[in-house]
């Protein structure tokens, strides 16, 4: 059952996470720096917002440790104008959190709370803090002001700087079991078929909110086209450059992530000869055909190159996406 907490609805799989936070609040041992870590699409921001609401609330509901949603502080937060709540975020998706952004809030950190309670800084995503910004933040994490809390959201798989991680307590949010999510997904997207629900869970690595987003934006169709293109390359029905040109027009990380999942299945199949080990059963025939002909060294090489490409994209390195894709797709073509 979803729980209403300070005007924020937390999905059922966050019950355990919130229970741990509740206990820390009850025991007065909430760390001044808390990293909420996990895959995108697990509701980490909802968990952070619920905690921020509770910390700022002037009349929290006990013993549930919930924000009341009605006091002056709650109303200010709901209107987006709470003076004791700050957000550190990139100016645009894919950009870094810069040192000047950290410096801008430091006078505020040194000042007294305007509402007489806690001050909260929410940093999302914390793994986008560049080195200078992280260094500027270290002193605040080491010596936080009284009743000042930092909530940092860490989105996998990009790593969090060790200097930040070592100064915070880390709470990891894990994906719920697929059988638990299936009924919830069916409620969110009533028109989806059971096989579609299972497919998007695999595509989203079990992250329910990302799975819903995939369903609503027809990601399965793009995934299917990715499979069609890869199959056509192996059959010499389309050139590597044509596919690379087409793929380069769309956001690449999502497409490369699906392809990487298939490569992982291919490696499992070659190592075990057990088709039951394959997660993406809808591509089993293609993978079996490749497994019979491809050298495993070449498969591992392609896998490493794809991982490196995803890392380069996440680091926002200035790369020619079409050339990068042509290299990867040619490696795929050469497998058989």
Q: What is the pLDDT of residue 62?
A: 86
**What are the b/e assignments for 182-213, b being 16+ CB within 10 Å?**
eebbeebbeebeeebbbbbbbbbbbbbbbbbe
Q: What is the pLDDT at residue 212?
A: 94
- The model's pLDDT over 244-296, given as tens digits with 9 standing for 90+, comes to 999 998 878 889 999 999 999 999 999 998 988 888 888 999 999 999 999 99
What's the whole-number mean pLDDT along residues 164-193? 91
CB atoms within 10 A of CB 89: 15
> What are the φ/ψ torsions at residue 63 (nearest 5 degrees)?
-85, 10
CA distance 320 to 223: 23
Q: Looking at per-residue confidence, does 67 or 318 come out higher? A: 67
The residue behind tokens 């590597």 is: 240
Beta bridge partners of 153: 36
Six token digits for residue 97:
């959190």
The answer for residues whose C-beta is within 8 angstroms of residue 85's C-beta and 6 or more apart is 52, 56, 77, 119, 120, 122
C-alpha 253/C-alpha 41 separation (Å) is: 15
Q: What is the pLDDT of residue 252?
A: 84
Q: How far apart are CA 129 and CA 35, in angstroms?
A: 13
SS3 of residue 121 by DSSP: strand
What pLDDT shows up at residue 93? 73
Three-state secondary structure call for residue 180? helix
Phi-psi region of 123 (alpha: psi -120 to 50; beta: other; left: phi over 0): beta
Residue 316 has pLDDT above 70, yes or no: no
Q: What is the pTM of this model?
A: 0.82
Q: How far from chain centre, in Å, is Cα 211?
A: 12
pLDDT band with cut points at 50, 70 and 90 for residue 315: low
Decide: 35 and 170 in contact? Cβ < 8 Å.
Answer: yes
Handedness of CA 275, 280, 282, 286 (dihedral sign): negative
Q: Which one has a higher pLDDT value, 318 or 122?
A: 122
What band does 5 get if pLDDT is binned at 50, 70 and 90? Answer: very low
Yes or no: say if 38 and 46 are a contact pair by the CB < 8 Å rule.
Answer: no
Supply the pLDDT for residue 254. Answer: 86
* 312 C-beta neighbours (distance < 10 Å), count: 14
pLDDT of 4 reads: 40
Structure tokens at 205: 């690595």
pLDDT band at 3 (very low <50, low <70, confident <90, very high): very low
Tell me how crowded residue 33 is: count the other CB atoms within 10 A of its CB: 23
pLDDT band at 105 (very low <50, low <70, confident <90, very high): very high
Max mean pLDDT range (89-98, 225-234, 245-254): 225-234
Instruction: Tell me what pLDDT residue 317 has.
Output: 59
- DSSP, residue by residue, 14-37: GHHHHHHHHHHHHTT---SEEEEE
Average pLDDT, the chain: 90
Q: Is 76 helix (H, G, I), strand (E, B) or coil?
A: helix
For CA atoms 177, 178, 180, 181, the dihedral sign is positive
pLDDT of the residue at 1:
36
Query: Given this model, what pLDDT does residue 157 score?
Result: 77
- Residue 318 neighbours by CB under 8 Å, 6+ apart: none
Is the Cβ–Cβ distance between 141 and 32 less than 8 Å?
yes
Q: Which domains does the chain have, with CATH numbers?
A: 3-172 (3.40.50.300), 218-333 (1.20.272.10)
Residue 243: enclosing H or E segment and its boundaries?
helix 240-247
pLDDT of residue 6: 43
Cβ–Cβ contacts within 10 Å for residue 122, how many?
Answer: 21
């Amino acid at each position: 059952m979803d729980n209403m907490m300070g005007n924020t609805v937390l999905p059922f799989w966050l019950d355990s996470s919130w229970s741990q936070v509740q206990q820390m609040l009850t025991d007065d041992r909430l760390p001044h720096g808390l990293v909420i870590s996990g895959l995108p699409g697990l509701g980490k921001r909802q968990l952070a917002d619920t905690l921020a609401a509770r910390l700022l609330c002037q009349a929290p509901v006990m013993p549930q440790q919930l924000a009341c949603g009605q006091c002056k502080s709650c109303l200010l937060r709901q209107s987006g104008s709470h003076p004791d709540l700050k957000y550190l975020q990139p100016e645009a998706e894919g950009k870094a959190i810069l040192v000047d952004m950290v410096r801008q809030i430091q006078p505020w950190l040194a000042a007294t709370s305007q509402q007489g309670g806690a001050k909260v800084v929410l940093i999302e995503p914390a793994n986008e803090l560049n080195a200078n910004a992280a260094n500027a933040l270290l002193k605040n994490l080491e010596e936080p002001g009284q009743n000042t809390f930092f909530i940092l959201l860490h989105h996998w798989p990009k790593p969090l700087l060790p200097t930040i991680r070592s100064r915070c307590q880390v709470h990891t949010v894990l994906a719920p079991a697929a059988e638990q999510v299936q009924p919830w997904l069916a409620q969110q997207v009533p028109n989806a078929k059971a096989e579609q629900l299972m497919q998007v869970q695999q595509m989203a690595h079990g992250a329910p909110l990302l799975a819903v987003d995939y369903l609503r934006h027809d990601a399965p169709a793009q995934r299917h086209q990715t499979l069609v293109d890869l199959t056509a390359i192996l059959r010499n029905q389309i050139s590597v450059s044509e596919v690379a040109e087409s793929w380069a027009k769309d956001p690449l990380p999502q497409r490369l992530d699906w392809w990487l999942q298939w490569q992982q299945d291919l490696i499992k199949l070659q190592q075990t000869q057990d088709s039951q080990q394959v997660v993406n059963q809808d591509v089993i025939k293609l993978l079996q055909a490749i497994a019979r002909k491809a050298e495993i060294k070449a498969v591992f090489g392609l896998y490493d190159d794809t991982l490196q490409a995803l890392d380069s994209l996440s680091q926002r390195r200035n790369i020619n996406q079409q050339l990068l894709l042509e290299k990867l797709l040619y490696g795929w073509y050469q497998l058989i």
